[in-house]
């Protein structure tokens, strides 16, 4: 289901990747219990980072690891910006369909970059690789994008479905009709295996709030070496 290329292993030997596959899920537009948990999470984050400025927040080990990765592409880690907006500006985690919101909540809780896909739209196996800089795919918002050389990317048998710098694709996106889902986690050097495993568990727990019938087919962390 998920393969690592020698190029990825040699380029990022200290990195990890996480995969969570859940079947028989549902994807309601709104779920009261999940919304309640989201509000509680936002309050915990505000307490956790109370009084911290941007530099202090950025010093968190997970955020620091992503910042180091993004810096080589002259980019800023967007989850740090979202966290700052929640903590300092009173903003909320976006209200979207439940499967995506469950992922967003775990991203904010753990600060790990995650992509969600409709498993039935994916042509397995998936491959984790390093972009040469010639690959191209259609982003979630419909724009065509050429990858940055050196960026981590995941492809199925039809093409790229996500990269760290540019995010998930349009072709395999989660929709209201999604009943089988796969979440993939990119963890650059500096983030350990346990942190990724706990993050996958948090996504699973969030999904089970609104889809208690869902079944976990795979929950696994892969290492560069």
User: Encoding tokens for residue 2?
Assistant: 């998920």
Query: Which range (7-21, 83-97, 116-130) has the least confidence?
Result: 83-97
At 94 the pLDDT is 87
Q: Where are the beta strands (DSSP E) in the chain?
A: 2-4, 16-23, 113-118, 126-130, 136-138, 144-146, 152-155, 160-163, 167-168, 180-187, 215-223
At 132 the pLDDT is 98
Q: How many angstroms from the chain centroid is the CA of residue 93?
A: 14
Query: In CATH, what is the architecture of 2-29+95-223?
Result: 3-Layer(bba) Sandwich (3.50)
Give the C-alpha separation, 114 to 187, whole Å: 9
At 56 the pLDDT is 94
The predicted-structure confidence for 114-170, as pLDDT tens digits, reads as follows: 999 999 999 999 999 999 999 999 999 999 999 999 999 999 999 999 999 999 999
Residue 195 predicted with pLDDT over 90: yes
For residue 194, what are the contacts with CB-CB under 8 A and spacing of at least 6?
A: none
Residue 97 predicted with pLDDT over 90: yes
Q: What is the pTM of this model?
A: 0.96
The predicted-structure confidence for 40-83, as pLDDT tens digits, reads as follows: 999 999 999 998 999 999 999 999 999 999 999 999 999 999 99
User: Encoding tokens for residue 209?
Assistant: 């709030």
Confidence of residue 224 (pLDDT cuts 50, 70, 90): confident
Residue 31 predicted with pLDDT over 90: yes
Residue 218 predicted with pLDDT over 90: yes
At 225 the pLDDT is 82
Please compute the mean of the pLDDT values over residues 194-220 and round it to a whole number.
Answer: 98
Q: If you search the block for the tokens 């940055």, which residue do you land on?
A: 148
Q: Per the omega criterion (within 30 degrees of 0), is the bond before 125 cis? A: yes
At 116 the pLDDT is 98
Closest CA to 171 of 183, 184, 158: 158
Percentage of the chain with pLDDT > 90?
96
At 76 the pLDDT is 94
For the chain, the structural domain boundaries read 2-29+95-223
Give the C-alpha separation, 12 to 8, whole Å: 6
φ, ψ of residue 18 to 5 degrees: the values are -120, 145
């Amino acid at each position: 289901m998920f393969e690592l290329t020698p190029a990825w292993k040699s380029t990022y030997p200290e990195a990890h990747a996480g995969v969570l596959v859940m079947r028989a899920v549902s994807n309601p537009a709104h779920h009261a219990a999940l919304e309640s948990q989201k509000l509680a999470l936002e309050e915990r984050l505000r307490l956790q980072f109370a009084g911290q400025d941007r530099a202090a927040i950025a010093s968190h080990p997970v955020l620091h690891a992503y910042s180091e990765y993004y810096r080589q592409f002259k980019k800023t880690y967007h989850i740090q910006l979202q966290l700052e907006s929640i903590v300092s500006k009173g903003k909320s985690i976006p209200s979207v369909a439940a499967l995506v919101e469950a992922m967003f909540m775990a991203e904010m809780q753990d600060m790990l970059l995650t992509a969600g896909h409709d498993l039935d739209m994916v042509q397995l196996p998936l491959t984790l690789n390093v972009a040469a800089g010639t690959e191209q795919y259609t982003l979630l918002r419909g724009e065509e994008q050429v990858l940055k050389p050196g960026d981590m990317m995941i492809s199925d048998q039809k093409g790229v479905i996500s990269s760290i710098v540019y995010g998930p694709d349009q072709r395999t996106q989660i929709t209201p009709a999604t009943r089988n889902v796969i979440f993939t986690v990119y963890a650059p050097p500096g983030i350990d295996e346990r942190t990724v495993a706990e993050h996958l568990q948090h996504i699973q727990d969030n999904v089970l709030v609104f889809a208690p019938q869902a079944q976990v087919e795979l929950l696994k962390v892969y290492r560069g070496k």
